[in-house]
Structure 1
Amino acid sequence: MNEFANLLSAFVKEKGVKIQPFARYCGYDRANMYKILKGQRNLPGREIVEKAVKYMHLLPSEEEKLWEAYEISAQGSDNYYRRKEVQKFFTEPILSSNVNITALTEGEPAKFGILNNESIPLRGGYEIDAALFRLIGEESRNKDGHLRLMIQPESNSLSSILSVHGNYACNTRIDHIVCLSSNPENVYRKKNYNLDCLRCVLPLYNYNYDYNTWYYYSKIPVQEKKFGLFPYMVLSSKYACVLTADMQKGYITAKPEILRICEEIFEECLEESKPMIRRLTDLDEQFEVTGKILKNKDQVQSFQMTPCLTPVLTEQIYEKYLKKELPGREKLIQTLYTYGEEIKRSDIQYVTSLEGIKRFLKTGIISEWPPELYDPLEMDDRIQLIKDLIFSDNGINIRILKKTVGNFDAEIYLCVSREYGILKFIVPEKQMQLHLVLEETGLLFSFFDFCENLSTEQIFSSSEEIESFLENWQLSEKVLF
C-alpha cells in the first residue's frame, strides 16, 4: 500500500466512515473505493481528495497530513522530501547564523591561552568549543591567517564560533573540506543531506573570510562514531585540533612536528577533493559563468520571485537608466545588450511570482542589476516591460507563482542547468549582492528538478488568469495601461 492509501484507510477506520455512502459521494462504486483504500488503484485525482476531506470532516492538521501523503505517493518519497528541502532552502533565512557562544570569552579556560609546545586533551563540548574559540580567534586576526577545516558543516558550535569572529577577521583564508552523500538524489532522515550541508556553509560567505569549500563523496552517516578515531581536524598556523566524530573528545597541540603532519594529511585530502562553491567577485566573472550555463544543450531554469527582465530589456532602456557618471558606461551598455541578446536565444524557463511583478511595478527596481548602477524605471517603462515579458509573442517561457517563495528583502536568485548554477543572494545588512557558483552535480540536480517539477497548484495555468489579476491590480492601484 502507498502512503496515501494507508492514511486514508486509517481515517476511514478512525472516524467510522461507511464505505457505501463515502464511495458514492466521491463518485466511485464500493468495489473501486476498496481498491483505493488498499492501494490497488492509481491515485485518485485531487478533486477526489478534496471530496474525501469534506466528507470525513477532517481537521486542518489531518487534511495537511492527507495531502502530504498524497504528494509522497504521487512523487515518490525521495523526490517529495528533496523538493520540500529545496523549497525550505528558498524560504528560510540563509545568510544568518544562530550564534550561541555566550558562555565563552577569549580568556576561558585560561590553559588555552598559555598553550605552548604541549598537547592538551579535550573532553566534552565546553572544552572543545573553548579550544576552537581560541584557535580560530587568534588566526582570524592574523593578516596572513589560514584555517584548514576537515569537519562536517552541521557542527553548530563551529559555525557559531566562525560567525563570532567573522566580522573582525582580516580576510583570513579558510579551506573547508566536507563529505557529501555519494547518493545525492536520496534523502536521509527525510532531509536532503547535501542540500543541508550547503545551507550550513552559506552563512560563512557573508563574513570577512576568504572562504572556500571542497567536497568528497562517502556514505551518509559519514562514519561510525566509535570506529572513526579522529576524523575531524581544525588547523591554524600555530595549532592542530583533532576531534572525534561526535565532537566530544579530542586534543589540541602546538607541537610543530604534529602540526606539519596534520597539514600534510590535509593537503593530500585537498588534492583529492573538488570545489563545492566558488564566489564571483565582478561582472566579467558573472557573464563568463552565465555564458557556460547558457551554452548547455539542456533547458536552463531561472528562479527568482522578482521578475527577470533581462530578456526584454532594450538598448534604449540601458541608455536611459544606467547612471551617466559610471566609468566605462558605453562599454557596459554594449556588454549588457550583447548579454541580453544571448539570453533571448537561449532555452530558459523563468519562474517568478505575482507579488514580485507587483513589487517591480511599484518600485521600478530591476533585481538583476546592482542598485548603484541605475535609476529606478519610470512607470510607463515598467508597464511596457511587464507586457513584453508576459503577453508578447516573443517565445519567453515564463511561469508565475500564485504565492511568493521566500523573502523579498533577503531574496535568493537561481540560474541553473544540469552542469552549472549561480546562486545570488541579497545581503540586506551589508547592502550588497553575493554571487556564488555551484558545481556539485547532486546540488545542481536538486535545484533543477525542483524548478522543473513545480506543482500545477502553485502556478497560474493560463495567461488569461494572469492578465485578469494584473487588470484588477491596476484598478486597485489606479494605474492604467
Structure 2
Amino acid sequence: MSEFSDLLSSYIDEKKIKVYALLEYCNLDRSTMYKIINGKRNPSSEAVFQKITEFLHLTPVEYRRFKEAYLISKLGKDLYYRRKYTEKYLVDFPKNFSEEPVLFLDDLRKMKDDNYSADMALRVSGNTSGCIVVSTHLELNHLLYYMISAETQKLSGKIVLLLQPDYEFLLNMLSSLKPTGNLKIEHTFCVSKINQMTENHEIYNLMYLNKILPLYFSNLDYHPYYFYEDIFSHYYSMNGLSCMILTSEFAITCNSEYTMGIFYKDPAVVSMLWNLYDSYQDKCRPLFYAADYLSMDGNDFDSPIYRETPSYVLQPEACMVPFIDRQILDAAIVPEFPNREASIRQIEALSHVNQAKMEKGVSNVYFTKRGLADFAAKGLIKEIPDHFYRPLTVKERIRLLKRILPCCRNGNYRLLKKPLNQLSDNLHLCVNSTFGYLLFNNIHNRTICLVINESSILTTFMDYLSSLDDNGLYNAEETAEFVQALIDELMT
C-alpha cells in the first residue's frame, strides 16, 4: 500500500463509491483499478488521476491532500518535497530589500541604550581572566552586539563566522550594519552535497541561501565559503563548542544552539583562534562570486555571465536582451555608458549569437504575464539597469515583442501559471548544468549578479525547472496569443 492508495481507499469507503462505477467512469479495466486501489501501481497519467478525482467529488481540501499523495507516490517522498521546497523558495523570493531586517527588538533596544553599552564595556574591560563564560542565549547576543559594534567603528574591520547560517539574531544584526569604514565579513559553513532536508522538508542549502541573501542586499562586503559534510552530524550531534565568531579584538566560541559559550579577549587566544580559522578556510571554496551586472566602471563581455547559454531562464518578463539590435542600442544607450561605441558593438555581437541560440531552442525561458505586460507598458527591461538607457519607444517594444513570437510558438518561451506567476520582480535566475546565477537589485538599486559556484544548488534549480510541465506552464499557443495581444494593443 501507499499513501495515495490508502487515501483512495478511505475516500471510496467514506463516500460509499461503487468500484465498478468508478472504473467504468475512468475507462479502466477491473484489474488495473484494483491494482491502483491496493497500491500495486499508480494512475498511468495525470488524465487518469483527474478522472478519479472528478468521480470522487472531492472538496478543495480533500483534492489538495489527494494530489499531494498522488505526486508523492509518483515521484517518491524525497524528490517531491525537494521540488515543493524549491518552488516555495522561488515564489517567496523577496520583492524588495529596502527595509532593515527585523531584529529581536527588545534585546536591541536594550543593547543600544547608552547605560547598557557602558555596563557591557565595563564588564569586558574589568574582566582580568581573559575570558567570560556565556551561559544563556541572551547573554551571547549581548556580547556579540558589543564585539561587532566595536569592529564596525574601525577604518578597516573584519568579522569571520564559522557557523551555519541559522543564527537569526546574528545574521539580522549583520544585515543592518552601517560600518564607519571598510568592513569585510567572511562566513564559512557546511553544505550538503546530497541536498539534505530538515524534518520540515526544507532543503538545507536553499534555506541557508535564503538566510544569507540579505547581506548581499544590504551591500555589505560579504564572502561565504563552503565545505561538504553531513550537516546534522557535523553541527547538531554532541559537538561541543563547534561555532566561532571572530573580530580583530575578540572571539566567541559557542555551541550550535547558541545558548552557551566562551567570550575571549586575550590577544594570544584570539590570535590562535584566527590561525585555526585560516587553516579551515583554506580548505573551503567560495559559495558565490558576486559582481555588478553592467558596471559603469567598464565591462568584460567575455565573462561567462554574458557568454554562457542557460538551459533555463526564470524571470518576470521574457528574455528580451538577445533580440536587441544595433538600431535600438544606438538610440537608447546613454552617452555616459563606458566605452560606448565599443560596448555597443560587443553587445550587438553577443545579441546576434544569443538570438540564434534562442531561435534554435537552446534555452527555455519562463516568464509571467504581469512582467511582460509591464515591459509593454513602460519599455523597461529589468535585466538592464535603468540608468544605462532610456525607456524603449512603442515602436521598439513592438519590434522586440515580434522577435520573441517565434520562440513562443516553438515552445521555448512560455508563460508561468500559479504559483510561479507571482514571481518577484527582483528575481532573475539563469542556470544550466554547470553554470548559473541570480540577478537582483540591492538596497542601492545596483544590479548584482550572484554567480553560483556550488553544484548541488545548480542541480536543485535545474531539476525543478526541467520538471515544469503543462500544470505549471501555459502551452506554446497560449503564450503566443498573449504576446500577440500585447502587440495588437501597442499598435492601436
Identify the match of residue 261 of structure 2 among 229, 250, 262: 250
**Alpha-carbon distance, 1:322 to partner:** 1.0
Is the alpha carbon distance of 1:406 and 1:204 closer, same or farther for their aligned partners in structure 2, counting shifts above 3 Å? farther
| Post-superposition CA distance 1:201-255 (Å, at most 9, x none) | 1111122421000001111314364621111000001100010111111011101
1:442 aligns with 2:446: no
Higher alpha-carbon deviation: 397-406 or 62-71: 397-406
Residues 450-469 of structure 1: matches in 2 within 5 Å?
450-462=464-476, 464-469=477-482
Match of 1:161 in 2: 173
Give distance in 2, aligned partners of 1:392 and 1:302: 13
Q: Supply the RMSD in Å over aligned alpha carbons.
A: 2.6
Q: In structure 1, what residue type is equivalent to 2:438?
A: L
Identify the match of residue 367 of structure 2 among 352, 357, 363: 352
Q: In structure 1, what residue type is equivalent to 2:315?
A: Q
Give distance in 2, aligned partners of 1:41 and 1:293: 42
Give distance in 1, aligned partners of 2:379 and 2:423: 14
Is the Cα contact below 8 Å between 2:402 and 2:487 reproduced in 1? no
Match of 1:132 in 2: 144
Q: Normalised by the size of structure 2, how large is the TM-score?
A: 0.88
Q: Normalised by the size of structure 1, how large is the TM-score?
A: 0.90
Q: Which has the higher contact order (CA 8 A, sep 6+)?
A: 2
Give distance in 2, aligned partners of 1:306 and 1:43: 36
3-state SS, counterpart of residue 459 of structure 1: coil
Is the Cα contact below 8 Å between 1:293 and 1:416 reproduced in 2? no
Give distance in 1, aligned partners of 2:291 and 2:275: 29
**Alpha-carbon distance, 1:384 to partner:** 1.9
1:320 aligns with 2:331: yes
**Alpha-carbon distance, 1:147 to partner:** 0.2
Specify every segment of 5 or more residues in structure 2 that has no aligned partner in the other structure, as ranges: none
Residues 26-37 of structure 1: matches in 2 within 5 Å?
26-37=26-37
Match of 1:203 in 2: 214
Q: In structure 2, what residue type is equivalent to 1:187?
A: M
1:62 aligns with 2:62: yes
3-state SS, counterpart of residue 307 of structure 1: coil
Residues 150-299 of structure 1: matches in 2 within 5 Å?
150-164=162-176, 166-168=177-179, 170-184=181-195, 186-189=196-199, 190-223=201-234, 225=236, 227-281=238-292, 283=294, 284=299, 288-291=303-306, 293-294=308-309
Match of 2:390 in 1: 375
1:329 aligns with 2:333: no
Give distance in 2, aligned partners of 1:135 and 1:354: 49
Is the alpha carbon distance of 1:59 and 1:168 closer, same or farther for their aligned partners in structure 2, counting shifts above 3 Å? farther
Specify every segment of 5 or more residues in structure 1 that has no aligned partner in the other structure, as ranges: none
Give distance in 1, aligned partners of 2:387 and 2:263: 47
Is the Cα contact below 8 Å between 1:177 and 1:270 reproduced in 2? yes
Question: How many residues end up aligned between the 2 structures?
Answer: 471
| Post-superposition CA distance 1:407-459 (Å, at most 9, x none) | 666421111122221110134x4323221111100001111222222122111
**Alpha-carbon distance, 1:345 to partner:** 4.7
Q: In structure 1, what residue type is equivalent to 2:161?
A: L
Higher alpha-carbon deviation: 198-207 or 437-446: 198-207
Is the Cα contact below 8 Å between 2:242 and 2:254 reproduced in 1? yes
Is the Cα contact below 8 Å between 1:424 and 1:434 reproduced in 2? yes
Is the alpha carbon distance of 1:234 and 1:101 closer, same or farther for their aligned partners in structure 2, counting shifts above 3 Å? farther
What percentage of residue pairs aligned between the two structures are identical?
26
| Post-superposition CA distance 1:118-162 (Å, at most 9, x none) | 211111211111111111121123221100100110221211221
**Alpha-carbon distance, 1:374 to partner:** 0.7
**Alpha-carbon distance, 1:99 to partner:** 2.5
**Alpha-carbon distance, 1:351 to partner:** 1.9
Is the alpha carbon distance of 1:351 and 1:468 closer, same or farther for their aligned partners in structure 2, counting shifts above 3 Å? closer
3-state SS, counterpart of residue 216 of structure 1: strand
Is the Cα contact below 8 Å between 1:146 and 1:172 reproduced in 2? yes
Give distance in 2, aligned partners of 1:474 and 1:383: 6
**Alpha-carbon distance, 1:109 to partner:** 7.1
**Alpha-carbon distance, 1:56 to partner:** 2.4
